[in-house]
Structures are given as structure tokens and as C-alpha cells.
Amino acid sequence: MKKLLSSILLLLTLSTISFAQKVNPAKWTWSLSKPNPEVGETVDVIFTVSIQKDWYLYSSDFDPDLGPTVTTIKFTPNDSYETVGSLKAINPSRKFDKEIWNGEYSYFKGKAEFRQTVKILKDKINIDGAYDSQSCSDVTGMCVPIKGAFLIEAQSATAKKTDDKKPNLDSLKAVEEAAKLKADSATIVPTDSVSSDSSAVSGDTLTISDRDEEKPEETSLWGFFLLALGGGFVALLTPCVYPLIPMTVSYFTKQKGGLQKALLYGFFIIAIYVLFGTIIAYAFGQAAPNFISTHWIPNMLFFIVFVVFGVSFLGWFEIVLPSSFVNKIDAQSDRGGIGGIFFMAFTLVLVSFSCTGPVAGTILSLGSQGQILRPIIGMFGFGLAFAIPFTLFAIFPNWLQNLPKSGGWMNSVKVILGFLELALALKFLSTADQTYHWHILDREVYLAAWIVIFSLIGLYLLGKIQMPHDSKLDKVSVPRTLLAIVVLTFVVYMIPGMFGAPLKALSGWLPPMETQDFVIGGESSSVETSSNADPNFPKKVKYDEFLKLPLGLHGFFDYKEAVAYAKQVNKPLFIDFTGHGCVNCRKMEAAVWSNPEVKKRIENDYVLVALYVDDKTELPKSEWYKSKDDGLEKTTIGDQNLDFEITRFNGNAQPYYCLVDPNNDSKTLVKPRAYNENIEEFIKFLEDGKAKFNKK
């Protein structure tokens, strides 16, 4: 019986996910920070959002061109108030996304708060407007636009004292009746989170369990710490650092209290690197990461710095600090005591800079693009890797006998790091190139550079090429051979990407497929029709000057235009409710649509129409209309597409796929599908829709 019940629950869950009904995962409420302010006084309009478990809401304070829908709140101007300054998001979390957006966004979980300062101008206060946001779920893979209107009516403190004939309940009732014409689809009711004063109105009636805000960045920070720790261990193997280990450890083991001094020495190494990280974090602050990750100036600066680091590691020249400065610090280490140990640690950091500087700089540059703790945590991990061997060998000096001897292998480590620095430099150039549409480093150019760089690493490991400071290599060791196999296998994996292979494992590092100039067996992404396109397909479709389909597919962006063409060719419609800021839409395109069997069926059996629900392009006034769902006027492409999804298909999440008969589009041919990367199920979905259409 338990197994039967579990199976039923599982099926119900899967059916709920695959047939995404209209959901409302975020509940908006609003109030004034002071219920009855004086005329001339400034107060905050406070917007509070309760967010359902396993969902998150995008904030308002990141680059709107990044991709996700930025929360916006528009106020309708009138003579009772004026806005002061811009909208403020209160303590959102931040995350750097490499795979989809290649940039940092901010978001809320559990509860969100936004504040807008206003100045009161009249006794009778009337503040109204609309909010636009997006909530997504990591569990279901759905993204849902959250839109609605707000209305706050209140009186100044002076008017309140002179008017005792209007109780709060009557005022609230008036607010509710006025707001019904403008609020989102759910009923407007007062909430427990605010008082029953007329200055507070709820945006919908969805019941959401409150919970403390989570700390979703912990996993990301832990991963970055491990990356920095690994970078520190690699830097230890370079010729600037490795020979210093036995020399330094021998110094401590020969002194009285050497163990304690060695521990203190290791502590100071960590402290010095953490200090550097703290300075970087303080200099960049909270607002800089988004600027650093998207603006061309820091990205081009990082590109140049990494190229300089790379060619330095290859042996062209060495980056060294002024010898006079290093000698002054070294002289301080003779003072003895705690101060002397500190300056010994500082001297190690400075002397090894020519080898450790590029590695530490790489970690700092990557850290500066995330949240404010990343540079500090990165430098802690890097310094910890340095401190561990000095401390352990001081505790167990006999281990030094098993330490591999210094030799030419250390320069090999340095050279490989140089090649990796050059490969990483291209990522920063690519970011600037994509953001500003320079088209310098399109996908196949980027791949060609990586193929060459990693091929050179493989040849170098096999001893086929040598760098200026390398020792003569008579034989290739087994470890070098195995590492060469790994590197050259990676090269072979990348080669099909030159001809259009998706290379999903590198999707977070490569420029988007749309920048690919040529695809063997297909067409360029810039070509409007694919190789399987109907010769009668129109050369120009509505909105194709700024909206594009993935994978070289041909289709439409306007529903009426798609219906007319589908009737002409007698094919069912494949409706793709999507969004520019929909992460899971891009994942579905890369993981499912790219499958040859799926793509073939979409091309041959259906007329594809992509309806972007978050596009902000304003339509001509003649095309505006008032929605039957929420009573709001729909003025943009995105608003009308979302309203169409809600009113026709009772869904408001993306991705959302509907198959319909263009001659009778009042209902779908089969149950719509949401986010699900199972290719076999998606093929069955398409096959079932085609069979149902053919029967009709």
C-alpha cells in the first residue's frame, strides 16, 4: 500500500510539473513607513514580497541587459507626492552565473523588501503604480512573471486630526474597490504583515509559508575556496617557491621553540594574503562586481594583465618587485621575535611574487566578479596552501627526505600555468566582445584559439617544443604522458565545436552558439531559415530584426502571423512561451532542442512560434488592449504574450510548450510541457501532437 501511495504521489508531482498551471509564488504587499506623514515630510513606500519555498525573486539592482528580468516599480505621477531618488533593494543575495548569463545578478529568497522614498505634497495622499518582476524555481525549473498594480491612499497627520468621520475600515474598503481595477489577477485583501491602515494593501491572496532567508551562496563560496586552495598548491610547485620549503623549514627546526615559530610563520603567510583580499573587497565594494563582470574597461584590463602574466610564465621576461623594496623588508626579518617572523613571511610573499603573482592575481580577478567575500575567501585559500607545507614539515622534519628534488619539472609547471593564463585571458575579451557586439571573438574564433593553446600544452608535455628556461628533456615520464593524453583528449573534444557541435560541458565558457559563423550540415545562426525550411517561408517575419530563434531554426515571433502560415502549410503550431531572462529556456534549447531527432521534428512537423513574455518593446497604441484577466492595459510585446499564455492556456511560467491546431486553437492537442530535459519524453510529446493533428 505504501509503495502504491508513493507511486501515485510521484505521478501527481510529475504531472503537475509537466502541465504547469498558473502559479503565483510571490505575494506583494505595500505600506507607508509612517501611516500619516506631514505635508513636506519624506517617507518610504515599503514593498514586501513573501516568496514561496524553493522559489527566488530577481532583485532590482543589477544590469538589466544581463538577461534575467530586473524588478521594476513604476509610480504614476500626481500632485500629492513626488519620488525622491531611486528604488532601493534591501540586502539581496548575489550570485555570479557563468553558464547562462556570464555575469552577476541579485535576488531574494523567502522574503524581499524594496523601498522608494517619496515627499508628501498634499493632505490627501494618493500613490499608485505598477510592479514588474520575475520569480523562478530551481526545483521545477519554471520562471513566472509577477506583475500587478498598487494603490495607497492616506491622509496627512493634520488632515487626520480634523477628520474623524472616516474610520479606517471605510478607507480600506475604498482603497480595495479602487485597486480592483488595477491589481493583478487575485483578490485584494489586507495582510497580517501590515496594519489594517489604509496605507497597506495586498497584491494577491496566495498563502505562502514564511521562512528565514537562506544562504544559497555557501556552495559557491566553498567551491571558490577549493579553487583558490588548489591554485596555491600549484604555485608551490614553481621554481620561485619550491626550493624555499626545505631552506625555511631547516631554519625553524634548528631554533629553540622552532615549532611555535613555524606555526606563527604559517599564520602570518595566511594573514598577509587575506589582507590583500580584504583590500580588494573594500576597494570594489558591493556595487562593483556587476560593473567588473560586464563593462568593457575592467574586462579588457584583465585580458591585458593575463596576457602579460602568461607570456611571463612562458619565459619571455619575469615580473619582479623592486629589489630595494624587497631588501628593506628582508632586513626587518633580522629583528627577531614576532616582528621578525612577520617580516620573514612578508619576504617570502615578495620574493615568490614572480611565480605567485599571476596565480594570485587570477584568483583575485575571479573573486572580484562575485560577492564581496570572494576575494577574502580566495586569498585565505591561497595563503592556506602556502602555509600548510611550511608548518607540516616543521612539525615532521623527517618528511623532507621524501620531498622530490628541485629540477626542470618546476619550470614545466610554470610554463603550463602560462598557457592556462592565456586561455583564461580570452574569456575576459569574450565577455567585452559579447556585451558590446564587436564580433572580434565569435564562437569558432574563440574555439580555434583554445584548440591551439591546449594543443601546445600537449606538445610541450611530450617534449616536442621547449621554452627559454626549460632543461633538456631526454625522456618523457609516465605522469607527463598521462597528462598529455588528458589535454589532447580535451583538444579532440573541442574540434567538433568548430563546425557547430554544442560542447555542452563548455557552455559557460564559450561565446553563445548564435555567434557561430558556420555549421557543417546546417546553417549559420545568423541565417533566418534552416536547411529544412519551406521554400515558401517568408524571408521577413515580424520582429525578426531583434528577436532570434536558436539552433538556426526558422519560425515566427507573432502568434497571428504564425497561425496564418500554419493554415497555409497545414501544420500544427508549436508555441514556445519563452523569455530573454529564462535560464531554463536556454537549457532546454541546448540540452533538448539540439538533439537531432527533436530538432528534425520541430522543423518538419510544426510551425514554430516563440512568444517572449518579458520583451519590453512597446507596441503602437492602436494595438494596446485591456486584459480580461487583470484589467491592466497591455502595451508591450511581452505583456501581451504573457496575457495570452494566461488567458488561453492558464499558465504563466516559462518555458511552456503548447501544441495546437491552427484551425481550432481554443485548446491544445496534448497536455503542454514545462521544463524537463528528458529527450525521449519530449520526442513523444511532439509525436503525440502530430498524431492528434493528423487524426483531425
DSSP state string for 510-575? SPPGGG----TTS--TTSSS-TT--TTS-SS-TTTTT---GGG---BSSHHHHHHHHHHHT--EEE
Give the length of the chain: 696
Contact 68, 92 (CB under 8 A): no
Question: For the chain, what percentages of helix, strand and coil (3-state, to nearest 5) are there?
Answer: 50, 15, 35
Q: How many domains does the chain have?
A: 3
pLDDT classification of 425: cutoffs 50, 70, 90? confident
Tell me the three cell numbers of residue 420. Answer: 592556462
In this structure, the answer to whether residues 420 and 516 fall within a common structural domain is: no
Q: How confident is the model at residue 160 (pLDDT cuts 50, 70, 90)?
A: low
**Which residue in 32, 95, 103 sits closest to 67, CA to CA?**
103
Looking at the predicted structure, is the pLDDT value of residue 673 above 80? yes
Query: Given the C-alpha cell 612562458, which residue does it identify?
Result: 314
> In angstroms, rounded to a whole number, what is the distance separating the alpha carbons of residues 588 and 280?
38
Domain boundary among 382, 415, 442: 442
**Phi/psi class of residue 367: alpha, beta or left (left: φ > 0; alpha: ψ in -120 to 50)?**
alpha
Q: Mean pLDDT of all residues in the chain?
A: 76
User: 516 lies in a domain?
Assistant: yes
In whole angstroms, what is the distance from residue 584 CA to residue 578 CA? 9
Across residues 580-600, what is the average pLDDT? 84
User: What pLDDT shows up at residue 191?
Assistant: 32
Which among 490, 273, 244 is positioned nearest to 351, based on CA atoms?
244
Question: Is residue 8 pLDDT above 70, yes or no?
Answer: no
Does one domain contain both 262 and 171? no
Where does a domain end: 202, 235, 270? Answer: 202
The letter for the amino acid at 318 is E
Same domain, yes or no, for 159 and 288? no
Judge if 237 and 108 occupy the same domain: no
pLDDT, tens only, 67-81: 788 999 999 999 999
Per residue in 560-574, pLDDT (tens digit) is 999 999 999 999 999
Helix axes 353-367, 374-395, angle to 10 degrees: 140
The predicted-structure confidence for 592-609, as pLDDT tens digits, reads as follows: 998 999 999 999 999 999
Could you tell me if residue 4 is inside a domain? Answer: no
Indicate the residue type of 16: T
**Is residue 591 one of the residues assigned to a domain?**
yes
Domain holding 530: CATH number?
3.40.30.10
116, pLDDT greater than 90: yes
In a domain, 487, yes or no: no
Q: What is the pLDDT of residues 621-663, one digit of tens each?
A: 999 998 888 788 899 898 899 899 988 888 878 889 999 999 8
C-alpha cell belonging to residue 531: 536547411
pLDDT over 60 (residue 517): yes
What Cα–Cα distance (Å) separates residue 492 from each residue in 464, 520, 568? 18, 17, 45
Do 691 and 615 belong together in one domain?
yes
Pairwise pLDDT comparison (376 vs 334), residue with the higher score? 376
Question: Do 433 and 564 reside in the same domain of the chain?
Answer: no
118 and 172 inside one domain: yes
The Cα 590–Cα 243 span in angstroms is 48
Is 674 contained in some domain? yes
Asked if residue 127 and residue 63 are part of one domain, the reply reads yes
Position 692 scores a pLDDT of 92
Q: Residue 628: which domain range?
A: 512-695
Q: Do residue 132 and residue 229 come from a single domain?
A: no
User: What pLDDT score does 650 carry?
Assistant: 84
Do 330 and 230 reside in the same domain of the chain?
yes
Cβ 266 vs Cβ 391: under 8 Å? yes
**Residue 70: inside a domain, yes or no?**
yes
Half-sphere exposure of residue 662, counting CA atoms within 13 Å on the CB side?
21
Residues 595, 627: one domain?
Answer: yes
Write down which residue in 409, 442, 475 finishes a domain: 442
Classify 660 as helix, strand or coil: strand
Task: Measure the CA–CA gap between 96 and 98, rounded to whole angstroms.
Answer: 6
First to last CA, the chain: 41
Cα–Cα distance measured from residue 594 to residue 502, given in angstroms and rounded to the nearest whole number: 8
Task: Please choose, from the candidates 187, 179, 171, 385, the residue with its C-alpha nearest in 3D space to the C-alpha of residue 274.
Answer: 385
Are 665 and 546 part of one and the same domain? yes
Kindly report which listed range (204-213, 383-392, 547-556, 638-647) carries the lowest average pLDDT score. Answer: 204-213
What does the pLDDT read at residue 489?
A: 96
What integer pLDDT is reported at residue 292 of this predicted model? 53
Q: Is residue 11 part of a domain?
A: no
Q: Which of 87-91, 209-213, 347-351 has the highest mean pLDDT?
A: 87-91
* pLDDT (0 to 100) of residue 6: 43
- Give the confidence band of 407 by pLDDT, cuts at 50, 70, 90: low
